[in-house]
């Protein structure tokens, strides 16, 4: 004889109830067809910001972006702090290409969002939005160039490192200018006395200025770029080949406000001594041109920031060039090659590789995809145990579960809540009964020689029990038990 127990079913029901309640924390899913109904409900209950968020979600899905922005901003301004509000506001702002507003909404979502998968996707998306924001800022700076020039405001002690112009007979060496500018930026950052602009910000502006690498060394280019970047100083120069194996760097540091050079430096070295040449240029610029003192520890950090393999450095430069052009797959191939040639690499290469992965993933995910991820992971109440869309009723008849009966119009809020809980528990119980059927009295009483002659109240209870009372009784959970007798036929028909 095998004994089945109701506590086992209880242990199965409790996690399922937890999933249901967790999913219910999100707002119900809505679709564009719900917009008229939601507009009426919002008009009737103008202080219900959850209804406003649902309306904004439906408007976004229906392509009514300006209306969705107004609705969602209104809900947030009125105090709605839900993850759905900030997520959908970010989605709308992104579609409208208001990158700054999208960044702010997504950052707020990271603080309040419920879905870990959606938060992970948003973190990647913020990298892509950052790139788009830099591009928008560069275009805005170019559009306001005259005003910026007249104002002449700069950030004190700031420096922008432009890629060097490339003048060499071997085009295979051109990627060095991108890798060198990246290494120099990292080295200049070692000094706490300097404010060093990011490579991506500088390159984005140069791309918007439609410059080729040959124009990077022109004095007017540096002064103009510096003004638009609001940098006090600009480092620019040229990389020239002297024969087959020797390189020369001629650098010029400009004061942007005066549009004049404050110092020129020249260094040359064999190709395999490229990193030593770069270190000398950076250290001399900081000390001799900018007049900033380096501590021994800072100088040592600069000297240690290098790669061991020039071919790996070239691959890294090609990867940066592809990254700037938006060719993420090609950039990843170059970064992988650089890493295979020089496993140690540089810290900036690791940072660039991480950024590339985030950009690639985000570029392959649309705003609709992100909304679907949030829905599937409970942010807006999707999933089997989550609330159904506001205008639908789930039909479980296909799997043998009777649908929930509608609550009468005159029911109280408590009645509706009890009915909802009852429907949920009935559904969950029905699911478990399909796997672990509850024994009936007739089954328990068939030929059981060891069955108790004085059945317990549990064994003699009516077969049509109330699962709500049984699972959610006065004590919280009732541990009803039952015995099940299994009869195995022996060969020949005997038991």
Comparing 209 with 415, which gets the higher pLDDT? Answer: 209
The span from the CA of 187 to the CA of 202, in Å, is 16
pLDDT 10s digits, 435-456: 344 443 333 333 333 444 444 4
Question: Highest mean pLDDT range out of 85-94, 238-247, 261-270, 442-451?
Answer: 85-94
pLDDT 10s digits, 43-72: 999 999 999 999 999 999 999 999 999 999
Beta bridge partners of 196: 159
Contact of 390 with 26, CB cutoff 8 Å = no
Least confident of 121-125, 143-147, 377-381, 384-388: 384-388
The span from the CA of 106 to the CA of 271, in Å, is 46
The predicted pLDDT at position 6 comes to 36
Does residue 25 register a pLDDT over 90?
Answer: no
pLDDT band at 89 (very low <50, low <70, confident <90, very high): very high
**Domains of the chain: residue spans and CATH:** 152-304 (3.40.50.10070), 307-345 (no CATH)
Question: Highest mean pLDDT range out of 187-191, 376-380, 399-403?
Answer: 187-191
Spell out the alpha helix ranges (H) of 26-115: 35-44, 49-61, 65-77, 83-95, 99-112
Does residue 464 register a pLDDT over 80?
Answer: no
Distances in whole angstroms, Cα of residue 130 to Cα of each of 51, 99, 107, 123, 139:
31, 8, 12, 11, 14
The predicted pLDDT at position 350 comes to 85
CA dihedral 158, 164, 165, 171 (to 10 degrees): -160
The span from the CA of 18 to the CA of 287, in Å, is 64
The predicted pLDDT at position 152 comes to 84
Q: Residue written as tokens 């393999």?
A: 309
Which residues lie closer than 8 Å to 119 by C-beta, 6 or more apart?
109, 110, 113
Does residue 418 register a pLDDT over 80?
Answer: no
The span from the CA of 428 to the CA of 72, in Å, is 35
The predicted pLDDT at position 26 comes to 64
Mean pLDDT of the 268-273 span: 92
Q: What is the pTM for the complete model shown?
A: 0.69
Comparing 424 with 250, which gets the higher pLDDT? Answer: 250
Question: Helix 274-284 to helix 176-188 angle, to the nearest 10 degrees?
Answer: 40
pLDDT band at 4 (very low <50, low <70, confident <90, very high): very low
pLDDT 10s digits, 290-325: 999 999 999 999 999 999 899 999 999 999 999 999
Instruction: Express as a percent the part of the chain with pLDDT over 70.
Output: 71
The predicted pLDDT at position 242 comes to 83
The predicted pLDDT at position 183 comes to 96
Contact of 205 with 141, CB cutoff 8 Å = yes
Mean pLDDT computed over every residue of the chain? 79
The predicted pLDDT at position 347 comes to 79
The span from the CA of 229 to the CA of 242, in Å, is 33
The predicted pLDDT at position 396 comes to 39
The span from the CA of 152 to the CA of 284, in Å, is 27
Contact of 321 with 315, CB cutoff 8 Å = no
Judge residue 10's burial from the number of C-beta atoms within 10 Å of its C-beta, 0-12 exposed, 13-18 middle, 19 or more buried.
middle
The predicted pLDDT at position 122 comes to 97
The predicted pLDDT at position 446 comes to 36
Q: Residue written as tokens 């609709």?
A: 368
The predicted pLDDT at position 345 comes to 78
Question: Within 10 A of 184 (CB to CB), how many other CB atoms are there?
Answer: 27
The span from the CA of 352 to the CA of 365, in Å, is 20
The predicted pLDDT at position 381 comes to 63
Positions of E strands within 123-282: 155-161, 165-167, 195-196, 231-242, 246-255, 260-270
Mean pLDDT of the 249-256 span: 94
Does residue 457 register a pLDDT over 50?
Answer: no
């Amino acid at each position: 004889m095998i004994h089945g127990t109701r506590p086992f079913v209880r242990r199965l029901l409790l996690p399922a109830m937890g999933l249901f309640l967790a999913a219910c924390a999100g707002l119900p899913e809505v679709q564009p067809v719900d917009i008229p109904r939601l507009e009426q409900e919002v008009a009737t209950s103008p202080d219900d910001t959850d209804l406003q968020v649902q309306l904004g979600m439906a408007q976004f899905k229906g392509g009514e972006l300006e209306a969705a922005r107004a609705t969602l901003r209104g809900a947030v301004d009125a105090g709605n702090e839900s993850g759905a509000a900030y997520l959908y506001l970010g989605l709308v702002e992104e579609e409208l290409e208001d990158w700054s507003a999208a960044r702010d909404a997504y950052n707020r979502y990271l603080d309040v969002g419920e879905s870990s998968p959606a938060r992970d996707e948003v973190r990647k998306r913020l990298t892509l939005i950052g790139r788009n924001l830099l591009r928008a800022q560069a275009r805005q700076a170019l559009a306001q160039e005259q005003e910026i020039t007249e104002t002449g405001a700069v950030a004190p002690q700031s420096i922008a490192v432009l890629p060097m112009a490339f003048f060499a007979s071997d085009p295979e060496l051109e990627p060095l200018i991108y890798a060198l500018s990246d290494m120099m930026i990292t080295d200049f950052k070692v000094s706490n006395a300097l404010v060093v602009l990011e490579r991506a910000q500088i390159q984005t502006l140069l791309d918007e200025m439609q410059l080729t690498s040959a124009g990077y060394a022109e004095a007017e280019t540096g002064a103009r770029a510096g003004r638009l970047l609001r940098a006090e100083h600009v480092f620019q120069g040229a990389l020239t080949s002297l024969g087959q194996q020797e390189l020369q760097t001629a650098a010029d540091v400009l004061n942007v406000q005066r549009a004049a050079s404050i110092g020129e430096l020249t260094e040359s070295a064999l190709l395999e001594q490229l990193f030593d040449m770069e270190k000398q240029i950076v250290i001399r610029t900081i000390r001799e041109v900018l007049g900033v003192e380096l501590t021994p520890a800072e100088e040592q950090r600069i000297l240690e920031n290098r790669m061991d393999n020039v071919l790996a450095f070239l691959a890294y430069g090609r990867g940066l060039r592809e990254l700037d052009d938006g060719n993420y797959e090609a950039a990843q191939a170059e970064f992988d090659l650089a890493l295979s040639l020089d496993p140690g690499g540089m810290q900036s290469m690791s940072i660039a590789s991480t950024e590339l992965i985030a950009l690639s993933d985000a570029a392959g995910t649309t705003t609709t995809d992100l909304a679907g991820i949030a829905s599937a992971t409970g942010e807006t109440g999707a999933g089997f145990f989550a609330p159904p869309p506001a205008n639908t009723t789930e039909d479980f008849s296909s799997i043998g579960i009777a649908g929930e009966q509608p609550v009468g119009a005159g029911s109280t809020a408590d009645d509706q809540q009890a009915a909802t809980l009852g429907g949920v528990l009935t559904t969950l119980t029905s699911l478990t009964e399909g796997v672990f059927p509850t024994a009936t009295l007739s089954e328990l009483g068939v030929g059981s020689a060891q069955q108790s002659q004085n059945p317990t109240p549990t064994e003699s209870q009516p077969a049509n029990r109330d699962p709500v009372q049984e699972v959610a009784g006065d004590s919280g959970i009732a541990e009803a038990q039952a015995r099940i007798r299994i009869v195995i036929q022996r060969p020949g028909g005997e038991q």
